[in-house]
Amino acid sequence: MKYKQSLKVLVVEDNLIDRRILESMLLESSDSTSLLKSSDSLAGALQLMSQYEFDIVILDLNLPDSHGEETLLKLNKQYPSVSVVINTGAYEDEVGLETLSFGAQDFLVKGKYNAYILNKALHYAVERKRVEAELVNAYRRLKDAQAQLVQSEKMKVVGGLASGVAHEVKNPLATLLYGVTYLSQKLSERDANVDSVMENMKQAIEKANDIVTDLLNFASLASVEKKKENLDEVIKGALSLVRHEFSRHHISVVKKIEKSLPPVMVDKNRIEQVLINLILNAVHAMPDGGDVTIRAYNRTLSEDLEDMPQLRRDEFKPGQEIVILTVEDGGCGIPEDKIDRIFDPFFTTRRGEGGVGLGLSVSKNIMDIHEGCIFVENKRDGGVRATLIFKVSTEKGGVPNGQEENLNRR
């Protein structure tokens, strides 16, 4: 039989005779096998797999350095995308069947196949693996889309309700603030207590006003004004607005910004707001102080987007140029049972300390409007990494802030 694709095959078999039989069967139809390598141990097999890109491995489970299903599990763990066909001893049908549930695509019983059956099994196994990978990808896309849908529905409901309430509350707040300021000027009997009560009232009103402004942002996001910007400038802008928090909380900021970042189309004020939210979250996570690291770099998305599984595949395509901006802290991290809820409006673990739970949900909304992406994850070595992804602007035209010269050098 003629096959569309000729395969790169690795035979892992410690019995010399069995190995020779397999090799000669594979070489019998040379147009079906384009590369053939052999090993008599798992270590040797892994070594060869690091050198060559095999389509399929014919694997004997019992090798001098590994036994039984362990052999398959170890191989699958390191090379999950390579198809595996198990070559079992005679009368081991049950063992063979079991291996299918551990990730093998098929099994062959020694002495019960010929060159034709072997080649057919290998080609079917490779095809099965390909279809399996497609299915896994489709499932992941579906899950992503479902999560997005749930989130955007939540945002719509909260946004609608909140902006109505916010409008109503803003006017009385303005009256209160005006009144408190006026009274504090007019009060004849002034002492330290009166001053501090007045100041507290003013701060409470301003805080309430900030929350209401945040809520209004849900509704007014349609009016974002995107311009070609360099993220380095946006980062500088955000840092200058929260600098006072750093000394108060003993925080050092470490900036690792790649030179000549390509421009992105953003509303500078909105992205500054996102960055401030992420930076303040990092600051709040480190009550005893520490480092907040801000990185920005640019790259091109790989063919399969495997390295960025969080990206929505309907939004981001392979080959897309992006700028990645991360904010990292060395704080307490987010408990695993809460991490799914952090983008929910009003979800906060800092209720008693001034947290409202709007920072991340507003930030997500803003990133959605920019056709970008935001995700937050615990780092392996402790603390949290928040990541923003921006598509690089392909529009022609200059970048403000005197960045043209830098960009032209790319």
Smallest gap from Cβ 278 to Mg ion, in A, equals 8
Residue closer to ligand ATP (CB basis): 271 or 360:
360
Name which of ligand ATP, Mg ion, none residue 113 binds, using a CB cut-off of 5 to 8 Å depending on partner kind.
none
Residue closer to Mg ion (CB basis): 85 or 362:
362
Residue closer to ligand ATP (CB basis): 13 or 329:
329
Smallest gap from Cβ 401 to Mg ion, in A, equals 28
Rounded CA separation 139/319 (Å): 22
Name which of Mg ion, ligand ATP, none residue 6 binds, using a CB cut-off of 5 to 8 Å depending on partner kind.
none
* Cβ–Cβ < 8 Å for 280, 295: no
Closest-by-Cβ residue to ligand ATP is 359
Name which of ligand ATP, Mg ion, none residue 399 binds, using a CB cut-off of 5 to 8 Å depending on partner kind.
none
Rounded CA separation 186/197 (Å): 15
Closest-by-Cβ residue to Mg ion is 359
- For CA atoms 87, 88, 94, 99, give the dihedral sign: negative
Rounded CA separation 268/228 (Å): 9
Residue closer to ligand ATP (CB basis): 121 or 360:
360
Smallest gap from Cβ 289 to Mg ion, in A, equals 18
Smallest gap from Cβ 277 to Mg ion, in A, equals 5
Name which of ligand ATP, Mg ion, none residue 349 binds, using a CB cut-off of 5 to 8 Å depending on partner kind.
ligand ATP
Rounded CA separation 321/310 (Å): 16
List residues bridging with 265 in a β-sheet. 228
Q: Which residues of 314-350 are buried (b: 16+ CB within 10 A; e: fewer)?
A: eebeeebebbbbbbbbbbeebeeeeeeebbbbebbee
Name which of Mg ion, ligand ATP, none residue 331 binds, using a CB cut-off of 5 to 8 Å depending on partner kind.
ligand ATP
Residue closer to ligand ATP (CB basis): 329 or 368:
329
Smallest gap from Cβ 145 to ligand ATP, in A, equals 23
Name which of Mg ion, ligand ATP, none residue 350 binds, using a CB cut-off of 5 to 8 Å depending on partner kind.
ligand ATP
The residues of the shown chain that bind ligand ATP, judged by CB under 6 A, are 277, 281-282, 285, 329, 331-334, 342, 347-350, 355-361, 384
Query: What angle separates helix 42-51 from helix 69-78, to the nearest 10 degrees?
Result: 20
Residue closer to ligand ATP (CB basis): 288 or 395:
288
Smallest gap from Cβ 234 to ligand ATP, in A, equals 19
Name which of ligand ATP, Mg ion, none residue 384 binds, using a CB cut-off of 5 to 8 Å depending on partner kind.
ligand ATP
Name which of Mg ion, ligand ATP, none residue 347 binds, using a CB cut-off of 5 to 8 Å depending on partner kind.
ligand ATP
The residues of the shown chain that bind Mg ion, judged by CB under 5 A, are 281, 359
Smallest gap from Cβ 158 to ligand ATP, in A, equals 12
Tokens describing residue 64: 């001098």
